[in-house]
Structure 1
Amino acid sequence: MPNSPLVPTIRRRRLGTALKRLRNDAGLTLETAAKAMGWKGPKLSKIESASQSIRPVDVAALLKVYGETDPEVLTALDNLAKDAGKKGWWQTYSGIVSPAYADYISLESDASHICEWSPLVIPGLLQSAAYARENIAGITTFRTAEEVSALAEVRLARQSVLTRPGQPLELWAIIHEATLHQRFAMRPTAMRDQLRRLLDASELPNVTVQLMPLDSTTHPGVVGGFSMVSFPGPTPDVVLLENLSGETYVEGDEATPFAKAFERIRATALSTEDSIARIAQMEEGHQQ
């Protein structure tokens, strides 16, 4: 039987993008770089487009061709090559988690920083168990109760990146205040518990929470929410956009406008101190 085609993973795409950028920075054509490696041009083209894998030893050799000596770059791309085909814990939920969602969890697990603007829902990394389940159940139009529970488990399992040993993910989340006024008929205490979850998470040194007040001035975030994922080393940022049809990724130079937009959104939002004070005030209101 013929071999099945290689399915590009998000890690392999990031590796290919980084190698292409370094080749261009070195002023080399595909043919010249491939010849230096003893390859034909199409092989390197396939590696850069993520339709062919590359061994870590070949990544190291390719970086020598490009004259790259930065230890941070060498280590980052070596790790990316080693992990390109690695399966994560989320593969256990392969029948539930879509390929695009699995890609995002992979990005999240590799990331050093995430900046998230969330105008309609609490960010997944900050959701309580009850909020996660109610939110997933409310959004989905085709999932069974068992699948909703499994997806809620996945969402909570993702949160381990905030407390992982060594280098926990740094999260800067800006949430619209309107999301904190949501109510769940079947779980009247869900938002109270969610507010407590936000307050607890904000005490982590690597988590920053801001609120966009109801009476804010106009800002770029009115167009819609997004998550901007950053990584150690030379690989470019990736931006996630979500809607009912699924997930869309914006990479490389096309992610730059989102970084600028996030800065303006951050400047428009309440300060971190005022944000936490308002969340605490709302939680106290739920106690009465």
Structure 2
Amino acid sequence: MPVGGRPTVRSRRLGTALRAYRLAAKMDQLQAAEVIAAHQTRVSRIETGHVSARPLEIRALLDAYAVHDPNVRTKLEELARQSKRRGWWLEHAAHLRPDYVDHIALEDDATYIREWQPVLVPGLLQTSAYAEAVVAATPHYIAPERIAQLVRVREARQAKIEEGGATYTAILWEAVITQPIVNAGIHEEQLSKILEVGKRKNVTIQVLPFIAGAVAGSTYAFSSFSFEPEPAVEAVTMENLRGTSVLEGAEDLAAYANAFDQLRSAALAPEASARLIRSALRGSKDNAS
């Protein structure tokens, strides 16, 4: 069973893939159940992510579905193993929303992470002071000790980027840079961090200028994730007041991949973006002096 007794993004990804291969083979769940000598409900629960398939079951099912690509087979077996693995974040799970845990798991698995943020600095780029200010400003009361814990989780998430574990691209609307929602000192520290992280080989930061017009309003903030050597979008998350939604449908993924491409095309190049950020930082310091 997936850790925590509920479907995880890993077990759902495994189940979704097995279901797609079963349908492509024109087999129903009863036929698949016969392949692994199990009841049909087990196949159903595997495909919805409520239970994890064992490696022998995966191999038998893929044989029946005529899926012989060794890369596919290895990937699915690894997903099955990972669905039972305890991630670093689970020590904080009692204090995190389940949907936020899903987002962190996606980040932890990803080879490519792309984000669009029209309002806030993305969590993967936030300083501790900025993160604390943003968390404390949410419309729901959060106890001070929990705010501190959420900030620590946000800092731990950043290790993925700092260690080069994923290729990361962030597109920020110009308002995020030039119209701070925190005090000047925190904002200046934050801009400095963005510039510093942007120097990493695995990181690209672009600013979408005001002159891009309606492009900025084409979609709310979102993150997309890829899990293969190639950057095809395989999952998308969107935050709202009620939590984080995970999108995995083919049409949704295509729509958000296209939206990110449009945003990236309209954004300033990384070098020009860095110049704009440096200018905003100088302006902030000049106004404070």
By how many angstroms is 1:139 displaced? 1.9
Are 1:268 and 2:252 an aligned pair?
no
Paired residues of 1:9 and 1:85 also in contact (CA < 8 A): no
The secondary structure found in structure 1 opposite 2:119 is coil
Paired residues of 2:222 and 2:236 also in contact (CA < 8 A): yes
Match of 1:251 among 245, 248, 251: 248
By how many angstroms is 1:183 displaced? 4.3
Amino acid at match of 1:265: L
Q: Matched residues in 1 for 2:145 and 2:218: separation?
A: 35
The secondary structure found in structure 1 opposite 2:7 is coil
In structure 1, the residue matched to 2:91 is: 92
The secondary structure found in structure 2 opposite 1:168 is coil
In structure 2, the residue matched to 1:41 is: 40
Paired residues of 1:117 and 1:221 also in contact (CA < 8 A): no
Q: Matched residues in 1 for 2:181 and 2:40: separation?
A: 58
In structure 2, the residue matched to 1:123 is: 122
Q: Matched residues in 1 for 2:253 and 2:70: separation?
A: 25
By how many angstroms is 1:74 displaced? 1.6
TM-score by length of 2: 0.90
* 170-179 or 61-70, which deviates more: 61-70
Query: For residues 221 and 109 of structure 1, do their structure 2 counterparts lie closer, same or farther at Cα, with a shift above 3 Å needed?
Result: farther
The secondary structure found in structure 2 opposite 1:219 is helix
Q: CA RMSD in A?
A: 2.0
Q: Matched residues in 2 for 1:233 and 1:82: separation?
A: 20
1:135-146 mapped onto 2 (5 Å cutoff): 135-146=134-145
- Report Cα offsets for 1:50-98 as digits up to 9, x if no partner: 2222212321222222222222212211111001122211122123211
Query: For residues 196 and 161 of structure 1, do their structure 2 counterparts lie closer, same or farther at Cα, with a shift above 3 Å needed?
Result: same
Paired residues of 1:220 and 1:264 also in contact (CA < 8 A): no
Match of 2:205 among 209, 213, 229: 209
Paired residues of 2:173 and 2:216 also in contact (CA < 8 A): no
* 198-207 or 33-42, which deviates more: 33-42
Q: Matched residues in 2 for 1:252 and 1:183: separation?
A: 34
In structure 2, the residue matched to 1:20 is: 19
The secondary structure found in structure 1 opposite 2:94 is coil
Paired residues of 1:236 and 1:251 also in contact (CA < 8 A): no
By how many angstroms is 1:134 displaced? 0.8
* 119-128 or 213-222, which deviates more: 213-222
Match of 1:189 among 180, 185, 194: 185
Paired residues of 2:247 and 2:253 also in contact (CA < 8 A): yes
TM-score by length of 1: 0.91
By how many angstroms is 1:21 displaced? 1.1
By how many angstroms is 1:140 displaced? 4.6
Q: Matched residues in 2 for 1:169 and 1:139: separation?
A: 29
- Report Cα offsets for 1:148-192 as digits up to 9, x if no partner: 11101110110011133xx6111111001101221434xx31111
Are 1:169 and 2:145 an aligned pair?
no
Quick one: percent identity of the two aligned structures?
34
| Residue ranges of structure 2 left out of the alignment (5+ in a row) | none
